[in-house]
């Protein structure tokens, strides 16, 4: 092992170490932590790099390169890879979609498979759209069916039990098509029942529905078993019911199924009906995907006295990250043979970014500005094109993905990829804590705040860029940071220079329209989807939510999630005044 390489010890804060010790660092039989963060990255790097051997490469070389990008916190793979690489579990992907068939044995088979996935730290998405509606006849018994929502409760209970002993809480996404006869019950289900706390829910809408919702036209409800029209609803009424519930507590979200399927790289293998729990990864049933994120904050250099993006170095990291994620596919142990076959067949990977808000701070651009949106496009177009280049290079070395001849790329000389998709913008909930960066493409939640980790430990955190500027410009004091932690924002604080207030905006200073524009800018250059929450102030109206849904549709997003301040009981990150 090269000592020079191991000498790079990751810079990990105390809060982060707490997170790592709970779930990520290896423990001995008595539960004592036996690994440092550096050793964790080395465990991951050497386990993943072993895949290089099959392609005639020296795994040692790639182990050191992979270690370097992780230890410098320039790139991190999704949590299951960090937790499970080189362990008996060996399941490395964060995102799965499982089919839910319209039969008792099919449903319970999926409950079991979901439990296995949760145990390994993966999240599961399901479309419940194939289940027969409530009160339909059950042929074999003469009884009546209880419908999608009642079955979701079984998944919920199973998740609840597994999370007690598993690696993390367990997360599910339930999608129901808007033309399913039980759609209204689905829209209201999370309000009606506390038994769905382990689910995010999303209504899968068609383009036709969105057009009809604008003009108050009726649309058909269809029995999924035979396609028979069994009723109609007014599209505007259903849209308004969704909006009302989302305003109330954030659920349901909305996903645009036609848009998602336009980008389905393998339509011959089936239609995409669901995403993973946080919405960023549409997948076919039985498909899984590993995500990874580059930390943009690490790629800022001074050029002629001005901060700029070091694209040359970013490009190299992207190429290595793509190789890493492709290797991960071969090294991951999936809980089902069907999943292994599907994943190896399509080899989807999802490389994205985190630390975008930090990047904007470093470049002194306000998040809510045209220049920031233009930068988002520039950066993501670069990530996408470098990732594709890397995937093409891997295809030359190792071959295109197995299902290439059944994919939309089959007659395209310029798109002979190793991976059916290469980019996804993940939330990076934990990864950004490890990297010490802002999460995903989100604006900062607060410039200084109390971070609650794993339900009970709290830390006062000040954004490092803000702290540096405050110190350099002479307005830093602990008292001021505590004052900021009460609201999270410096809006209206005249003791802080106006130029600083303009750049250091936080989620609530950014209007919903800018949130959507930013999401759309990233989506334009992302194969899969974009995880983004449109934050709304507590006094936002249902009309505001409706505007967000329609503008997300108009701007080409694949879905959208909103969150109105204070509308859910448990916020992971809370401004200190609200804890």
Please, what is the minimum distance in Å from the beta carbon of residue 435 to ligand ADP? Answer: 9
Contacting positions for ligand ADP (CB under 6 A): 78-79, 94-95, 121-123, 168-171, 276-278, 280, 291, 426-431
Please, what is the minimum distance in Å from the beta carbon of residue 117 to ligand ADP? Answer: 8
Measured from the CB atom, the residue of 68 and 123 that comes closer to ligand ADP is 123
Note if 276 is an active site residue: yes
Output the six-digit token pair for 452: 């609650």
Measured from the CB atom, the residue of 251 and 509 that comes closer to ligand ADP is 251
Measured from the CB atom, the residue of 167 and 489 that comes closer to ligand ADP is 167
Output the six-digit token pair for 5: 């390489």
E strands, 397-485, are 448-453, 457-462
Q: Count CA atoms closer than 13 A to 396's CA, side-chain side.
A: 8
Please, what is the minimum distance in Å from the beta carbon of residue 433 to ligand ADP? Answer: 8
Please, what is the minimum distance in Å from the beta carbon of residue 206 to ligand ADP? Answer: 24
CA distance 378 to 522: 9
Buried b / exposed e along 432-444 (16+ C-beta atoms within 10 A): bbbbbbbbbbbbb
Q: How far is CA 328 from CA 66, 90, 114, 241, in A?
A: 12, 10, 21, 42
Please, what is the minimum distance in Å from the beta carbon of residue 503 to ligand ADP? Answer: 26
Measured from the CB atom, the residue of 117 and 521 that comes closer to ligand ADP is 117
Note if 172 is an active site residue: no
Spot the catalytic one: 95, 189, 278, 557.
Answer: 278
Please, what is the minimum distance in Å from the beta carbon of residue 274 to ligand ADP? Answer: 11
The answer to whether 329 and 338 are in contact (CB under 8 A) is: no
Spot the catalytic one: 276, 290, 295, 346.
Answer: 276
By beta carbon distance, the residue nearest ligand ADP is 123
Spot the catalytic one: 273, 280, 442, 461.
Answer: 280
Q: Give the CA radius of gyration of the chain.
A: 23
| Pairing outcome for strands 349-354 and 287-295 | parallel
Measured from the CB atom, the residue of 67 and 199 that comes closer to ligand ADP is 199
Q: Output phi, psi for 438, to 5 deg.
A: -70, 155
CA distance 533 to 475: 32
Q: 330, 347, 331, 337: which is closest to 288 by C-alpha? A: 347
Measured from the CB atom, the residue of 362 and 426 that comes closer to ligand ADP is 426
Measured from the CB atom, the residue of 163 and 501 that comes closer to ligand ADP is 163
Report the SS3 class of residue 49.
Answer: helix
Please, what is the minimum distance in Å from the beta carbon of residue 62 to ligand ADP? Answer: 22
The answer to whether 288 and 342 are in contact (CB under 8 A) is: yes
Which ranges constitute the DSSP H helices of 50-197? 59-71, 79-84, 104-119, 147-165, 183-192
Sign of CA dihedral 366, 439, 526, 316: positive
ω into 252 cis (within 30 of 0): yes
Please name the helix (run of DSSP H) or strand (run of DSSP E) that holds residue 247, with its range, or none.
helix 235-249
Residues that are catalytic:
276, 278, 280
């Amino acid at each position: 092992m090269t000592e020079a390489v191991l000498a790079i010890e990751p810079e990990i804060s105390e809060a982060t170490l707490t997170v790592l010790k709970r779930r990520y660092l290896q423990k001995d039989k008595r539960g004592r932590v036996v690994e440092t963060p550096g050793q964790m990255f080395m465990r991951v790097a050497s386990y993943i790099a072993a895949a290089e051997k099959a392609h005639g490469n020296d795994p040692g070389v790639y182990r050191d390169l992979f270690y370097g990008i992780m230890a410098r916190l320039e790139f991190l793979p999704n949590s299951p890879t960090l937790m499970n690489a080189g362990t008996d579990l060996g399941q490395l992907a964060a995102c799965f979609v499982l089919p839910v068939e319209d039969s008792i044995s099919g449903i319970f088979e999926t409950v079991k498979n979901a439990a296995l996935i949760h145990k390994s730290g993966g999240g599961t998405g399901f479309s419940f759209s194939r289940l027969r509606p409530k009160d339909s006849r059950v042929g074999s018994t003469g009884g009546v069916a209880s419908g999608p929502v009642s079955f979701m409760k079984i998944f919920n209970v199973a998740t609840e039990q597994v999370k007690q002993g598993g690696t993390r809480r367990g997360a599910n996404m339930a999608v129901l098509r808007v033309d399913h006869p039980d759609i209204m019950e689905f829209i209201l289900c999370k309000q009606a029942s506390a038994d769905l706390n382990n689910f995010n829910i999303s209504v899968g809408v068609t383009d036709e529905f969105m057009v009809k919702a604008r003009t108050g036209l009726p649309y058909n409800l269809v029995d999924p078993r035979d396609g028979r029209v069994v009723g109609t609803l007014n599209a505007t009424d259903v849209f308004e019911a969704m909006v009302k519930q989302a305003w109330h507590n954030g659920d349901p979200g909305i996903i645009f199924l036609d848009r998602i399927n336009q980008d389905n790289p393998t339509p011959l293998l089936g239609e995409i009906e669901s995403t993973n729990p946080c919405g960023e990864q549409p997948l076919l049933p039985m498909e899984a995907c590993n995500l990874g994120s580059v930390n943009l904050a690490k790629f800022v250099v001074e050029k002629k006295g001005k901060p700029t993006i070091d694209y040359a170095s970013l490009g190299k990291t992207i190429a290595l990250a793509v190789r890493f994620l492709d290797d991960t596919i071969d090294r991951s142990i999936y809980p089902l043979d069907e999943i292994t076959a599907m994943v190896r067949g399509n080899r989807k990977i999802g490389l994205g970014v985190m630390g975008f808000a930090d990047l904007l701070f470093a470049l002194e651009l306000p998040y809510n500005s045209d220049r920031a949106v233009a930068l988002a496009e520039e950066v993501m177009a670069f990530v996408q094109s470098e990732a594709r280049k890397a995937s093409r290079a891997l295809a030359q070395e190792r071959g295109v993905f197995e299902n290439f001849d059944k994919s939309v790329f089959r007659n395209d000389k310029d798109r002979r990829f190793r991976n059916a998709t290469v980019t996804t913008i993940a939330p990076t909930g934990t990864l950004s804590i490890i990297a010490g960066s802002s999460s995903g493409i989100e604006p900062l939640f607060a410039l200084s705040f109390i971070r609650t980790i794993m339900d009970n430990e709290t830390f006062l955190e000040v954004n490092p860029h803000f702290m540096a500027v405050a110190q350099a410009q002479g307005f830093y004091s602990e008292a001021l940071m505590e004052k900021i932690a009460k609201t999270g924002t410096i809006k209206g604080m005249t003791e802080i220079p106006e130029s600083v207030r303009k750049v250091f905006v936080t989620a609530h200073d950014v209007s919903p329209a800018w949130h959507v524009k930013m999401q759309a800018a990233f989506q334009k250059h992302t194969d899969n989807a974009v995880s983004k929450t449109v934050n709304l102030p507590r006094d936002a109206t249902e009309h505001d939510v409706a505007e967000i849904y329609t503008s997300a549709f108009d701007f080409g997003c694949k879905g959208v999630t909103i969150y109105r301040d204070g509308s859910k009981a448990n916020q992971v990150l809370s401004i200190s005044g609200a804890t």
